[in-house]
Structure 1
Amino acid sequence: MALPAFLDLKGYGHLLIDGALVTLSVGMAAMVVALTLGILGALARLSKNRLLRAVGSTYATVIRGIPELVLMLLVYYGGTVLLQWLLSLGGGDVRVDINAFMAGTLVVGFVYGAYATEIFRGAFLAVPKGQTEAGQAYGMSNAQVFLRIELPQAWRLAIPGLGNLWLTLLKATSITSVIGLTELARQADLIKAPTKMPFTVFFMACLLYLAMTAVSDVLRIRAERWASSGFRRS
């Protein structure tokens, strides 16, 4: 399919589109990881078990204090060295290559899972205690109370924060370019030389990022309205 003239970039424009698709793929996969870790981290922080609370608090505090780029390089390069060393203990020369997409997804998801932990923690705390107590009075188990009462309401309360988290996470996928993943920022960097149009190339990349975040924001607003459709506002 032919691209519009302003996106063609001397025949290299399709690489930016390919990079944008990789960016979305990494972003969505990392968001799944972040949401999973966020819920688990929030439950750990709210647990009555002292050890679980300590684990949840350490995760949320420490990971938010380390730059994503440092973790990315540590996992991708340090992880490769560690795996090669462990596998070579059995004898022989072992070479290990960590998949860039997998490493990028896990690191970005792991980092933003710490932020999601605080979002879900606040959402769970905002669920009225009377409702959970009513569920228990009806004979629901703790798991049923969580799945039927707490989690649905926590999702509704967390959507605004999670929407902002997604926008930040989507842009943060650009750090995966340092490990060679050909997402949008990496593709823009690769084609700036052959096109001899560095400003135009990076400007188009900015527009693609802006388009993705704009569409995401529209979807967030619709999700908020849908989640609050049966909620009576005081």
Structure 2
Amino acid sequence: MSSPIRVKICGLRDAAGVAAAAAAGAAYVGFVFFPKSPRHVSLTEAREAALSAPEGLCKTALVVDADDATLDSIVAGVPLDMLQLHGHESPERVAGIRARFGLPVMKAVGVADEGDLAPLMDYALVADQLLIDAKPPKGAPLPGGNGLSFDWRLVAQRRWLKPWMLAGGLSPDNVAEAIRLTNARQVDVSSGVESAPGIKDPAKIQAFARAALGPAEPAIPRLR
């Protein structure tokens, strides 16, 4: 019986990273299209990595306030299963992107205190999934992937209209506790499984997945 927890490994840059995520039992892999990030990939890099993904592994593109022309290029150039919007996109913009591109959309929302939870209700009406991340510090160059966590008690046992994913400062050492406290069924990690910014460590990916998935055998996507 497979674990009910679904793991997302974000910020992958090549086929080796995708293979490590798949071998660990991840359900999602993420490619970052944001030039300021050390995890940024070109269309060519993302396409090659995505084409290497086993069947059943959800391939996600992370974008930050991307315009339609940018999204057109990404969707046309990379075989994707989901768009992750990690900027200041309004609910109207989220709905528009979903309608235009015909792909499921995950909307990220940064949380630092209880007041930051309110927008999740509006986004749940237009997005297919929600990603609840740590709110970046004021002036931070990156909207996510900063290795910061937030007070998990803020989302403990909460429910929204759509599936949600927990992110922000997760690592092999704390993900099991985060799941226990929040009852999250999905978790997202990027910097927490790196040996250096932008460099994924296969051993850390394995350790994170083991900690998140527990003793059950991970459901490894079937190869084509």
TM bin, normalised by shorter chain, reads under 0.3
More strand by share: 2
TM-score if structure 2 supplies the norm length? 0.23
Task: Work out which of the two has the higher radius of gyration on C-alpha atoms and give 1 or 2.
Answer: 1
RCO greater where, 1 or 2, for CA within 8 Å and sep 6 or more? 1
